[in-house]
């Protein structure tokens, strides 16, 4: 991070995405790096401990240590842990650095049992953007618990996104009293895709299984999105392959 700049868990996620997707060198610059001066050697050093410090007493993660648990920061933190050690993957790193039971409980409690939608914090209303920020946590947490039973109600989230999230004139919105916008359209669709697949991390690969949905009025399948990068799977794989052949170092 820039000296004197903000540090928070979003930046951790963004840096690890850039390093991994673009196959960039993991060693910190030799000179003029505050992290080097503090004794770190790679961008990953100390990151697990920092993310652990962001887990609040409620179980979710805040933007920085000692802040309120929040859906978007929780996604950024656990997605960053998925990238931290490609060998261990989510099963290793999420359990190693976080209180997993508290995290799972906090994420489970974000689904509203009346509307099926997801809220970003305790005592807040549901909002369609958390269909991704929390719904995306479902994919990552399930990959960290092999053979887990169905932990979340995917069909009721899909119903919230389609029935309450769609604006009659197009696009997706936070909730019916709001207008649609690009932000909520993006994260509503990402959340809808998350309801359609179950993810596993096996031998360094993300594998998806479509969820069987019986209802005749089920929405058409959306393409699987890479659960960490949250872009279509084929594009994520093609980008990784491209840069794997062209390392900077």
Ligand X SMILES: *[C@@H]1O[C@H](CO)[C@@H](O)[C@H](O)[C@H]1NC(C)=O
Positions marked active-site: 70, 121, 124, 127, 129-130, 174, 181, 184
CB of 213 to ligand X, least distance (A): 12
| Residue number, 107 or 228, with CB nearest to ligand X | 107
Kindly tell me the sign of the dihedral angle through the C-alpha atoms of 56, 202, 133, 237.
Answer: positive
* Cβ proximity to ligand X, 62 vs 191, nearer residue: 191
Residue 30 or 147 having the CB closest to ligand X:
147
Sign of the Cα torsion 10, 14, 17, 23 reads: negative
Provide the CB-side half-sphere exposure for 29 (13 A, CA). 6
Integer-rounded Cα radius of gyration of the chain:
18
**Max intra-chain CA distance, the chain:** 61
List CB contacts of 244: < 8 A, sequence separation 6 or more: 23
**CA nearest to 72, candidates 141, 131, 150:** 131
Give the residue with the Cβ less far from ligand X, 44 or 153. 153
Q: How many residues does the chain have?
A: 249
Shortest Cβ 50–ligand X spacing (Å): 36
- Residues interacting with ligand X, by CB under 6 A? 116, 153, 155-156, 159
Measured from each CB, the residue nearest to ligand X is 156
Tell me how far apart the alpha carbons of residues 86 and 248 are, in angstroms, rounded to a whole number. Answer: 19
């Amino acid at each position: 991070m820039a000296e004197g700049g903000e540090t928070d868990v979003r930046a951790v996620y963004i840096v690890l995405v850039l390093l991994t997707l673009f196959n960039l060198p993991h060693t910190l610059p030799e000179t003029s790096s505050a992290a080097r001066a503090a004794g770190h050697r790679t961008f990953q050093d100390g990151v697990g401990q920092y993310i652990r410090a962001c887990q609040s007493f409620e179980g979710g993660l805040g933007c920085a240590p000692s802040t309120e648990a929040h859906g978007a920061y929780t996604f950024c933190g656990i997605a960053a842990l998925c990238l931290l050690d490609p060998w261990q993957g989510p099963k290793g790193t999420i359990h190693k650095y976080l209180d997993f039971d508290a995290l799972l409980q906090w994420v489970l409690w974000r689904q509203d049992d009346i509307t099926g939608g997801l809220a970003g914090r305790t005592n807040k209303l549901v909002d369609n953007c958390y269909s991704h920020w929390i719904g995306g946590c479902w994919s990552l947490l399930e990959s960290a618990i092999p053979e887990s039973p169905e932990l979340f109600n995917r069909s009721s989230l899909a119903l919230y996104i389609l029935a309450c999230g769609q604006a009659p004139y197009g696009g997706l919105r936070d909730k019916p009293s709001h207008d649609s916008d690009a932000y909520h359209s993006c994260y509503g669709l990402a959340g809808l895709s998350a309801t359609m697949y179950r993810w596993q991390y096996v031998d360094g690969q993300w594998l998806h299984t479509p969820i069987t949905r019986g209802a005749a009025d089920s929405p058409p399948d959306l393409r699987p999105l890479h659960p960490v990068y949250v872009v279509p799977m084929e594009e994520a794989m093609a980008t990784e392959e491209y840069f794997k052949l062209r390392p900077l170092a």
